[in-house]
Amino acid sequence: MSIGGDRGIQGAHYDSHEIVFITEDMRVVAKSRHCITLIGQFLGALNVRLPDLKYIENILHIQFEIHPDPIPGNYGPFWKRIDGNVVGMSIYMAIGPTVSQICVDVIAVGPP
């Protein structure tokens, strides 16, 4: 479950986490995915926690997947922030009256 809550959510969400690899200096490269199902327009907080890291030193990659595809130009993250081992952001998305799923993948490096 996300920290801070997601507003506008209608339905299920899930998280998955994995360690991608450990560097020679014992830092961990970890990946987490947070998915939510929603209906219609969404404006709210979405947080992805990387529980395998004590804190995030660097974000290597953030990727969004939205199914079905939203109207071009009518979605996007803003106000991204790192706090400990959590990447938080606000997201706006206009998808019409259909049910959609948004997934956010974060790959980051930090100490275990």
pLDDT surpassing 90 at residue 30: yes
Quick check: 109 and 50 in contact, CB under 8 A? no
Per-residue exposure over 65-104, b if at least 16 CB sit within 10 Å of its own CB, e if not:
eeeeebeeeebeeeeeebeebbbbbebebebeeeebbbbb
Tens digit of each residue's pLDDT (9 = 90 or more) over 50-77: 999 999 999 999 988 877 766 655 666 7
Q: Per-residue confidence at 95, pLDDT binned at 50, 70, 90?
A: low
pLDDT at 20: 94
pLDDT surpassing 50 at residue 8: no
What are the tokens at 31? 């990946």
Tens digit of each residue's pLDDT (9 = 90 or more) over 39-56: 766 667 788 999 999 999
Q: Find the DSSP H helices in the chain.
A: none
- Does this model's pTM top 0.85? My answer is no
